């Protein structure tokens, strides 16, 4: 069961009742998403990769759809096409996501948010001229990336390692790395030593960045080819 919670910036998050884990920081869901994923990952990828091709982005954990919504709005603002792929084993029911107040907070039509959740699963759907979405209802542990996957950016937004330890392993990150282009950028709110070591073992170059709210640090990682890591 999930409980709707108002965060400090006025936007909603969800709490897993009985667990005490939130989908976002209670100090601001929208501001945390911008701090952890858009500024150090999406905008960096916009600058780093050429504009001639769509930016291909992978998200571990579609959740409330907030990261996808903010990315869609950024794609429109910067006029950069984004192909967004998200893996989510437990999609939110419509009676939950329809209550989220992100459209009001961002001053956008409500249907712009709902169409992300209402889009069919398992297929790529054009949402706007600048943003397409493919949602996959699958366990990341079992997921095998298609051979032609070539992601430029990754939002790694699984629940914390104490709740989902199987999603923070060197094996997971190694398989993810094989689906990235050289120089691809990954960001995550989590900065635990085990996570940093797992990313390094998978061949990523890892750096710490200032975290959001009460989190002192977060991680950003760059995919490197074999020749770069030797």
Residue 17 belongs to a domain: no
Does 8 reside within a domain?
no
Alpha helix stretches (DSSP H) within the chain: 29-33, 43-48, 66-78, 94-97, 102-106, 110-118, 170-177, 193-201, 226-229
Q: pTM here?
A: 0.95
- pLDDT, residue 228, reads 45
Nearest one of 216, 218, 214 to 206, comparing CA atoms = 218
pLDDT tens for each residue of 158-206: 999 999 999 999 999 999 999 999 999 999 999 999 999 999 999 999 9
For 120-126, what is the mean pLDDT? 97
- Residue 101, domain member (yes or no): yes
> What range defines the domain where residue 109 resides?
28-229
Which tokens sit at 18?
Answer: 């009985």
The tally of domains found in the chain comes to 1
State in Å, rounded, how far the first CA of the chain is from the last one: 47
In contact, 190 and 83? CB cutoff 8 Å: no
Where does 96-230 show beta strands of DSSP type E?
124-128, 131-136, 151-156, 180-188, 204-210, 217-223
Output the domain CATH number for residue 103. 3.40.50.150
């Amino acid at each position: 069961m999930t409980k709707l919670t108002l965060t400090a910036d006025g936007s909603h998050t969800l709490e897993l009742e009985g667990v005490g884990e939130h989908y976002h920081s209670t100090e601001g869901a929208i501001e945390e998403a911008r701090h952890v994923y858009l500024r150090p990952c999406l905008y960096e990828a916009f600058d780093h990769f050429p504009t001639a091709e769509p930016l291909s982005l992978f998200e571990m954990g579609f959740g409330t759809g907030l990261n996808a919504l903010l990315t869609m709005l950024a794609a429109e603002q910067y006029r950069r096409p984004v192909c967004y792929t998200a893996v989510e084993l437990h999609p939110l029911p419509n009676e939950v996501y329809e209550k989220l107040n992100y459209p009001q907070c961002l001053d956008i039509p409500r249907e712009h948010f709902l169409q992300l959740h209402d889009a069919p699963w398992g297929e790529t759907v054009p949402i706007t001229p600048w943003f397409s979405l493919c949602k996959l209802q699958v366990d990341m542990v079992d997921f095998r990336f298609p051979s032609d996957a070539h992601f430029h950016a990754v939002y790694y937004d699984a629940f914390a390692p104490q709740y989902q330890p199987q999603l923070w392993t060197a094996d997971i990150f190694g398989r993810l790395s094989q689906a990235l282009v050289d120089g691809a950028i990954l960001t995550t709110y989590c900065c635990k030593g085990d996570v940093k070591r797992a990313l390094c073992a998978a061949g990523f170059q890892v750096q710490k960045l200032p975290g959001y709210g009460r989190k002192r640090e977060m991680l950003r990682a760059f995919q490197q080819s074999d020749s770069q890591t030797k």
